[in-house]
Amino acid sequence: MLGAIVGDIVGSVYEFKNIKTKKFRLFKKGCFFTDDTVLTVSLAEAIMTGRDYAYLMREYYRKYPNRGYGYRFSIWVENESMGPYNSWGNGSAMRISPVGFAFDTIEEVLDHAKKYSEITHNHPEGIKGAQATASAIFLARKGVSKIEIKKFIENNFGYDLSESLDEIRPNYRFNESCQETVPQAIIAFLESTDFEDPIRNAISLGGDSDTLACITGGIAEAYYGLPEKIAKKAMEYLDEFLIKTVLKFREKFCR
């Protein structure tokens, strides 16, 4: 799941300053971790400890405020009696990568992706986006080919993955829905050549750059592995609290 964090950090400076090229410095001045990282790490802790994920999301939110959280999510955090709010936003997919690494069958992955997304994102599209992302990660780490991953996602979730990045890029704009983020992030992975390439692909589309790159970064790590140099650089952006959980999760599930 550190690959997802890499994508978030690299994409952080382009979320509201979109670029349409793959030629950029991977880590540049101004990069930071956003809510994507915060909620990903909190899910990793929930999986490892069995602690309540809703509680942990609120706890992490208060520890790391002002990280770009969605308006409705912020309301949910501050109202502890509030249930899920029927969201189809891409927040369910950007935080779900630990599920794809932690469980050993596709059935478990689908069940846990639903469980952890529907706490807030109980709209069918919100759940679907999380399940598709977690499934792609699971299949990638199991050594399934890109052709088979594509076929599985299309057959089970109904996403159209037939467009190329060159076809998507010219008219693609900022969009926070799972429907218009998850397929594009998966295509960015499918057209890639190594770990770094899909992150560049995702950011080159424009749009919700940190989340696109976060989603595809998790899949890329599962498929290609994570270069140590990039992993170490990403860790420099995190504090000791986050690093502790990331290292524990990687030791347990990402060896």
Residue from 48, 93, 100 nearest 70 by CA: 93
Select from 178, 191, 58 the least CA-distant residue to 127.
178
Measured in degrees and rounded to the nearest 5, phi and psi for residue 193 equal -120, -20
3-state SS class at 24 = coil
The candidate with the shortest Cα–Cα distance to 163, out of 188, 146, 143, is 188
Binding residues for Mg(2+): 34-36, 208, 210-211
Query: Which amino acid, 47?
Result: I
Binding-site residue ranges: 34-36, 208, 210-211
Tokens (6 digits) for 235: 């860790």
Give SS3 for 235: helix
| Torsion region of 225: left, alpha or beta (phi above 0 gives left; psi -120 to 50 gives alpha) | left
Q: Three-state secondary structure along 107-169?
A: HHHHHHHHHHHCCCCCCHHHHHHHHHHHHHHHHHHCCCCHHHHHHHHHHHHCCCCCCCHHHHH
Both tokens assigned to 162 = 């037939």
> Is the separation of the CB atoms in 90 and 127 below 8 Å?
no
Alpha-carbon torsion (82, 63, 114, 49), positive or negative: negative
